[in-house]
């Protein structure tokens, strides 16, 4: 089982308030595009699209 190292960690940022709310893992060899997920933003208090940041 692979370990969770810093190379696979990504930050997810809310598209509305531009705050970093979530961290996730991503296999960068298979997923080349930026990840988008619909998550609950604690600051907006609603479900918004969160995009991967650098």
- Determine the pLDDT at residue 28: 87
1-36 core/surface letters (b: 16 or more CB in 10 A; e: else): eeeeeeeeebebbbeeeeeebeeeeeeeeeeeeeee
The answer to whether position 2 is within a domain reads: no
State mean pLDDT over 27-52. 93
The answer to whether position 1 is within a domain reads: no
The answer to whether position 4 is within a domain reads: no
Asked whether 26 and 36 are in contact (CB, 8 A), the reply is no
Q: Residue 24: which CATH number?
A: 2.20.28.120
Asked whether 29 and 2 are in contact (CB, 8 A), the reply is no
- Tell me: the pLDDT tens digits for 11-25? 999 999 999 999 999
Q: Is the pLDDT of residue 6 over 90?
A: no
Model-level pTM? 0.79
The answer to whether position 26 is within a domain reads: yes
Which structural domain, as residue segments, surrounds residue 47?
9-53
- Determine the pLDDT at residue 20: 94
Number of domains making up the chain: 1
């Amino acid at each position: 089982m692979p370990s969770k190292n810093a190379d696979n960690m990504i930050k997810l940022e809310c598209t509305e308030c531009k705050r970093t709310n979530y961290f996730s893992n991503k296999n960068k060899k298979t997923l080349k595009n930026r990840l988008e997920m619909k998550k609950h933003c604690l600051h907006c208090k609603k479900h918004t699209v969160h995009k991967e940041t650098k």
